[in-house]
Amino acid sequence: MSFALLTDPARPAVEPETGGPAPDRVLSGAPVFTTWNEYESADGKRFAGVWRSTPGSWRIVYDEWEYCEILEGSSAISHADGRRWLVGPGDRFTLEPGFDGVWEVLETTTKRYVVILP
For the stretch 2-37, pLDDT in tens is: 787 787 777 767 899 999 999 999 999 999 999 999
Judged against a pLDDT cut of 80, whether residue 71 lies above it is answered with yes
Max CA distance (Å), the chain: 43
List phi, psi (to 5°) of 67. Answer: -100, 135
Calpha distance 105→84 (Å, rounded)? 13
Q: Which helix (H) or strand (E) holds 47?
A: strand 46-53
Calpha distance 110→26 (Å, rounded)? 19
| Helix, strand, coil shares, percent, the chain, to 5 | 5, 60, 40
Percent of the chain with pLDDT over 70: 98
Q: Which domains does the chain have, with CATH numbers?
A: 39-116 (2.60.120.10)
Residue 48 CB contacts under 8 Å (≥ 6 apart), including other chains? 4, 6, 37, 38, 39, 112, 113, 114, 115
